[in-house]
């Protein structure tokens, strides 16, 4: 149980286009999901906290108009990278807090590698 | 602020060798501490955790003890296997802030 999926796993796009990444909790409901970004050989950096039915909370330095997050249901959060540029190329990972709200355990998706040409 | 520092890799060991991956942290308050593992092509999986000082987390032969006095949470395994080859992340979370703060990850390569 507690499986999180991401789609697509890999995407290549042209500069200036927008890309949507989906994060789904497959067998549990997640009121809170998190979006992280990972640069090569570096740590995962939290971008934003996605809350079902309300606006996402962005970390300092993350442009909310560039990285649009929508948490439309208890099992789906989407991250849209708008007007992508080569510097947005990265590995994007989502996670969801598990069905047991009393724990801090998070379950992670496999990640999406974005390459902007 | 909160931060996690872990040893740089890659760590290359022979099968059945003893493993230690160091992790130290800086945090306000009393964090929960985690080790996550990422196998090739897969998402991060929780390996073990500890929620208070002196707690020992253990799973699949791996252990880590929450040391408040040294602000450390070192990962150990007595005898590694080829199947343990992966990237290991140390992380913390602070009460009231549910997101995780990660270390940079340590790649472990176990050779037969």
Residue B104 near chain A (CB below 8 Å): yes
Residue numbers in A near B5 (CB within 8 A): none
The string of pLDDT tens digits covering residues A29-84 is: 888 899 999 887 778 899 999 988 888 999 999 999 999 999 888 899 999 999 99
In angstroms, the CA B1 to CA B101 distance is: 10
Give pLDDT, residue B105.
93
Give pLDDT, residue A80.
97
Residue B5 near chain A (CB below 8 Å): no
Listed residue (A41, A38, A60, A14) closest to A49, CA to CA = A60
Give pLDDT, residue B96.
65
Q: What is the mean pLDDT of chain B?
A: 92
Residue B69 near chain A (CB below 8 Å): no
CB contact under 8 A, A43 and B102: yes
Q: Could you say which of A104, A110, A111 has the minimum Cβ distance to residue B98?
A: A104
In angstroms, the CA B77 to CA B19 distance is: 5
Angle at B51 between CA B49 and CA B55, to 5 degrees: 80
């Amino acid at each position: 149980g507690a499986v999180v999926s991401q789609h697509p796993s890999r995407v290549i796009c042209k500069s200036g286009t927008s890309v949507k990444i989906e994060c789904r909790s497959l067998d549990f409901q997640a009121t809170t999901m998190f979006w992280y970004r990972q640069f090569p050989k570096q740590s995962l950096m939290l971008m934003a906290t996605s809350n079902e039915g309300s606006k996402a909370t962005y970390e300092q330095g993350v442009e909310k108009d560039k990285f649009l997050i929508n948490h439309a249901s208890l099992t789906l959060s989407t991250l849209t990278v708008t007007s992508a540029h080569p510097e947005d190329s990265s590995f994007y990972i989502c996670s969801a807090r598990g069905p047991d709200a009393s724990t801090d355990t998070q379950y992670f998706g496999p990640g999406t590698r974005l390459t902007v040409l | 602020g909160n931060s996690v520092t872990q040893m740089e890799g890659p760590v290359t060991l022979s099968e059945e060798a003893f493993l230690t991956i160091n992790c130290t942290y800086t945090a306000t308050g009393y964090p929960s501490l985690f080790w996550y593992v990422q196998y090739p092509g897969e998402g991060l999986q929780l390996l073990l955790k500890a929620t208070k000082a002196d707690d020992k987390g253990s799973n699949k032969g791996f252990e880590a003890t929450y040391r408040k006095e040294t602000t450390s949470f070192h990962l150990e395994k007595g005898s590694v296997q080829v199947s343990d080859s992966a990237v290991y992340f140390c992380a913390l979370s602070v009460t009231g802030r549910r997101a995780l703060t990660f270390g940079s990850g340590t790649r472990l390569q176990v050779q037969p």
